[in-house]
């Protein structure tokens, strides 16, 4: 039996049109999620085996904002643009620039999906909402699924989805903030408490990446604040 065990974490930001609904919970370990099959279908086994052999990454014990407990083994990451939607492309590109500006990671665009660490895509999130089972009926603007090795805490692949149907009616700035939130998950950040200034607050996103977010992602990747 292969020792490599993949766990999936789902984080979804859900923002209705002026009526934000919190539907953003990581799926419990071991439970199937609406996204796990999708994530597995694009898995690259050779890359996973290689990364599984790497030593355990150091995850800081405390950070200004919550983290998920895993991160990428490298600070140089590749992202693949899988959406044709112009507005979403701009949002993703701006979000990548904003995270790069923190100095914690350097995310660059690549042309080959198989080579990418992060996939930036569009999709309808309303229909496949895993939260439907717990009684939410919501319009979700974005979601991110992450695949990681629980032994090494190393992320293997992340997939951030923005819902064009929902986001078409919002502003360019807002779309960028939602993209920043999703890519924050793709870097290993968890949700911030409602009362702090952070792009990682699960609802009512009114800000881009803040000093708190910057400090947290820098500590996560072993850099001074």
Measured from the CB atom, the residue of 13 and 164 that comes closer to Zn ion is 13
Here the tokens at position 153 are 């805490």
Over the window 106 to 135, marking each residue x when it contacts Zn ion by CB under 5 A and - when it does not, the resulting string is ------------------------------
Q: How far is the CB of 189 from Zn ion (least distance, A)?
A: 9
Q: How far is the CB of 202 from Zn ion (least distance, A)?
A: 5
Q: How far is the CB of 182 from Zn ion (least distance, A)?
A: 7
Nearest to 186 by CA among 163, 152, 220, 140: 220
Is residue 187 at the binding interface for Zn ion, with CB under 5 A as the rule? no
Give the residue ranges of DSSP H helices in 72-225: 86-101, 164-167, 172-186, 211-220
Q: State the residue number with the nearest CB to Zn ion.
A: 13
Measured from the CB atom, the residue of 152 and 176 that comes closer to Zn ion is 176
Say which residue the tokens 């292969």 belong to: 2
Stretch that binds Zn ion, among 9-17, 68-76, 100-108, 128-136 (CB under 5 A): 9-17
Stretch that binds Zn ion, among 10-18, 30-38, 82-90, 116-124 (CB under 5 A): 10-18
- 78 pairs with which residues across the strands? 108
Q: What is the DSSP letter of 130?
A: G
Measured from the CB atom, the residue of 12 and 81 that comes closer to Zn ion is 12
Measured from the CB atom, the residue of 11 and 158 that comes closer to Zn ion is 11
For residue 87, the tally of other CB atoms under 10 A from its CB is: 16
Q: How far is the CB of 94 from Zn ion (least distance, A)?
A: 18
Exposed, middle or buried, 7 (CB in 10 Å: 0-12/13-18/19+)?
A: middle
Separation between Cα atoms, residue 225 and residue 211, nearest integer Å: 9
Say which residue the tokens 């665009």 belong to: 109
Measured from the CB atom, the residue of 48 and 161 that comes closer to Zn ion is 161
Strands 154-162 and 106-110: unpaired
Measured from the CB atom, the residue of 17 and 50 that comes closer to Zn ion is 17
Cα-to-chain-centroid distance, residue 65: 15
Q: How far is the CB of 20 from Zn ion (least distance, A)?
A: 12
Q: How far is the CB of 6 from Zn ion (least distance, A)?
A: 21
Site for Zn ion in 11-40 (CB under 5 A): 11, 13, 24
* 156 three-state secondary structure: strand
CB 153 within 8 A of CB 57: yes
Q: How far is the CB of 12 from Zn ion (least distance, A)?
A: 6
Which residues of this chain interact with Zn ion, rule CB under 5 A? 11, 13, 24
């Amino acid at each position: 039996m292969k020792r490599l065990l993949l766990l999936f974490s789902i984080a979804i930001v859900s923002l209705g049109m002026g009526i934000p609904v919190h539907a953003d919970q990581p799926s419990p370990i071991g439970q199937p999620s609406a996204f796990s099959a999708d994530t597995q279908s694009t898995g690259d086994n050779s890359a996973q085996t290689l990364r599984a052999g790497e030593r355990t990454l150091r995850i800081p014990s405390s950070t200004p904002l919550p983290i998920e407990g895993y991160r990428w083994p490298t600070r140089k990451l590749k992202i693949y643009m899988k959406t044709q939607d112009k507005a979403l492309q701009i949002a993703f590109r701006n979000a990548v620039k904003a995270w790069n500006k923190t100095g914690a990671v350097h995310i660059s665009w690549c042309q080959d999906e198989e080579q990418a660490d992060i996939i930036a895509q569009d999709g309808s999130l309303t229909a496949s909402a895993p939260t439907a089972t717990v009684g939410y009926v919501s319009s979700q603007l974005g979601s991110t699924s992450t695949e990681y090795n629980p032994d090494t805490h190393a992320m293997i692949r992340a997939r951030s989805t923005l819902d064009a149907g929902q986001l078409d009616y919002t502003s360019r700035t807002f779309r960028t903030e939602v993209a920043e939130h999703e890519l924050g998950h793709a870097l290993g950040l968890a949700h911030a408490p409602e009362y702090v200034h952070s792009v990682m607050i699960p609802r009512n996103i009114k800000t881009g990446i803040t000093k708190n977010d910057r400090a947290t992602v820098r500590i996560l990747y072993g850099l001074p604040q």
